Amino acid sequence: MSKVCQVTGRRPTAGFTVSHSHKRNKRWFRPNIQTKKFFVPNEKRHVTLTVSAKGIKIINKKGIESVIADLRRRGEKI
């Protein structure tokens, strides 16, 4: 499973852990990715999406139908 949100496009980014003595070590900042199943009333079926916590909030705000329409406009297969 890739760690990319289908709604927001968030993906892991690299950065540094900085200690008190200012030593730097490479690390990853990973988004909170969840596999979640949503029911789409228009199509009378469930859709499984890989979304971040922010993506879930966007779906709750806009509605699943408009989010799926945006994804299809972008060319994602759902």
Q: Is the pLDDT of residue 77 over 90?
A: no
Q: Which of 34, 38, 47 is nearest to 78 (CA)?
A: 47
Query: What are the boundaries of each domain within the chain?
Result: 13-74
- The pLDDT tens digits of the residues spanning 23-76 come to 999 999 999 999 999 999 999 999 999 999 999 999 999 999 999 999 999 998
Total-model pTM:
0.84
CATH T-level fold of 13-74: Ribosomal Protein L24e; Chain: T; (2.30.170)
Q: Is the pLDDT of residue 1 over 70?
A: no
